[in-house]
Amino acid sequence: MLIRLLSFALFQGVGALLAAIFMRVFAPLHSGAVVSSLVGALGATYFWLLWDLSRGLRVMRWLRSDQTREVAVQSGLWGEFSNRIRRLLRNNERAVQQRDERLQEFLAAMQASPNGVVLLDKDFRIEWFNESAALHFGLDARRDMEQHFANLVRDPSFAAYVAAKDFENDVLMPGRANTVSLPVRLSVHVHPYGEGRSLLLSRDVTAVEQAEAMRRDFVANVSHEIRTPLTVLGGFVETLQTLSLNESERARYLDLMAQQASRMQSLVSDLLTLSRLEGSPLPSAHEWVDVSLLVDQCRQEAGELSRVLWGQTHSLSFEIQSGLSLAGSAAELHSAFFNLIGNAVRYTPAGKSIRVVASATPEGGALFAVHDQGMGIAQEHIGRLTERFYRVDRSRSRDTGGTGLGLAIVKHVVQRHGAELSISSTPGEGSRFQIMFPAHRVQFQAAHAPAHALAA
């Protein structure tokens, strides 16, 4: 401001001085020196105003242009004015850039969300959506922006949800990729916000729904499995209470009751085994279980089962590589091995042969296999055998004390030991159940030891 006042005074002073000199040189006889100085000062004032205006115009032109990096005027009031404006613009630019970066980070976070996010304006038109939403609803960023969401997603339950405008809860609907063989279920929830805008969130709940359906089926199956022997037991109790029976009839009824009780016991025991397998930490990779000892125990139990079920034994042969150890839980491995051997005994008529093999593989792993000459299993059942309560021959399973959970237990144990179960079978000829253990769970104490054969 001081410079401005000084320049103004300087212009006037120089103007007055120049007018006075002019009068002195060109009209020395005239005596109006004061008047001419005043006129000179006035002229200089106009000149100063013009000069100031031209600087102001330069600043104005500079402001109108996009190039605001270099100021148009360096000095004086206009210079300072330009500098301050430039600083303000720069701060503003920086703030906008920071806000832009934060917005991009925010959008990237929403993009990374496994849930679908759609931003809708007050007319329910799409403003933005993330990848998951694109996948859930089959949206295309180039085609569908600003489209009415309800025109693109035409599921009747969703249409009714939007029409009711009651967004308290979510709505369940099929996803875009939904097919009969591969169902996709979405939970969609609209959250109104701001002035009439909406945030639409979608979540893939296929796995949750399937787990819930499995849980329902499981409870229904368990109830059914328990109700059947309970009903039979109840019937026998009633018979014993109401009829006067002789000693042998009484003994026969009590025998049948004991069978039903033992069936329930087996079921509860298998259920507990399954729940232990699901809830306990993975088996140790450092505790070594001697396969010969384990299979030896199974061999005795299999012989016993064979005698109890069939009155005579099968031709049971065991080819176990000595010195073979597996890392894991002895109880779990025993349960898996005996379930497979027990099934072979239960589903193979007496007199036929059952062969159990445990040996190292050339890759450093180990296999445990049970071959039988039983009734075999049709191909369409094989993929489902490890499902809980799945039975091919329901009556044979029940008659031999089966719970329908044996192979489900085997599958769990196999998975927990990082192994693989494979099943092959030919109806009428027999079946082969095989577990392959990975190399890190296998150890030999005596390398190249030959397999030793045992016959029951």
Question: Which residues lie near ligand ADP (CB under 6 A)?
Answer: 339, 343-344, 347, 372, 374-375, 377, 385, 390-393, 397, 402-408, 431
Q: CB nearer to ligand ADP: give 256 or 369.
A: 369
Q: How far is the CB of 401 from ligand ADP (least distance, A)?
A: 8
| Residue 148 DSSP one-character state | B
Q: CB nearer to ligand ADP: give 72 or 344.
A: 344
CB 185 within 8 A of CB 169: no
Q: How far is the CB of 217 from ligand ADP (least distance, A)?
A: 15
Q: How far is the CB of 375 from ligand ADP (least distance, A)?
A: 5
Selection from 268, 194, 258, 166 nearest residue 226 by Cα:
268
CB 203 within 8 A of CB 186: yes
Q: How far is the CB of 343 from ligand ADP (least distance, A)?
A: 3
Residue matched to tokens 């089962």: 305
Q: How far is the CB of 383 from ligand ADP (least distance, A)?
A: 12
| 3-state class (DSSP) for residue 433 | strand
Measured between alpha carbons, how far is 80 from 241 in angstroms, rounded to an integer?
112
Q: CB nearer to ligand ADP: give 202 or 343.
A: 343
Q: CB nearer to ligand ADP: give 233 or 407.
A: 407
Cβ burial, residue 178 (10 Å; 0-12/13-18/19+) = middle
CB 137 within 8 A of CB 211: no
Alpha helices by DSSP H, 65-171: 76-112, 131-137, 141-144, 149-152, 156-164
Pairing type for strands 353-360 and 315-321 reads parallel
Q: How far is the CB of 120 from ligand ADP (least distance, A)?
A: 51
212 forms bridges with which residues in the sheet?
Answer: none
Q: CB nearer to ligand ADP: give 40 or 406.
A: 406
Q: CB nearer to ligand ADP: give 4 or 396.
A: 396
The packing angle between helices 247-279 and 406-416, to 10°, is 20
CB 171 within 8 A of CB 157: yes
Q: CB nearer to ligand ADP: give 375 or 421.
A: 375
CB 366 within 8 A of CB 324: yes
Q: How far is the CB of 415 from ligand ADP (least distance, A)?
A: 15
Q: CB nearer to ligand ADP: give 296 or 393.
A: 393
Q: How far is the CB of 403 from ligand ADP (least distance, A)?
A: 5
Selection from 145, 147, 138, 143 nearest residue 173 by Cα:
138
Q: CB nearer to ligand ADP: give 289 or 377.
A: 377
Q: CB nearer to ligand ADP: give 54 or 262.
A: 262
Selection from 356, 354, 339 nearest residue 404 by Cα:
339
Q: CB nearer to ligand ADP: give 99 or 394.
A: 394
Q: How far is the CB of 391 from ligand ADP (least distance, A)?
A: 3
The packing angle between helices 406-416 and 330-346, to 10°, is 140
Measured in whole angstroms, how far is the alpha carbon of residue 340 from the centre of its chain? 34
CB 158 within 8 A of CB 136: no
Q: How far is the CB of 280 from ligand ADP (least distance, A)?
A: 21
Which helix (H) or strand (E) covers residue 369, if one does? Answer: strand 366-372
Q: How far is the CB of 311 from ligand ADP (least distance, A)?
A: 19
- Rounded to 10 degrees, the C-alpha dihedral 291/294/300/305 comes to -110
Q: CB nearer to ligand ADP: give 171 or 267.
A: 267
| 3-state class (DSSP) for residue 388 | coil
Q: How far is the CB of 337 from ligand ADP (least distance, A)?
A: 13
Measured between alpha carbons, how far is 61 from 75 in angstroms, rounded to an integer?
17
Measured between alpha carbons, how far is 323 from 359 in angstroms, rounded to an integer?
10
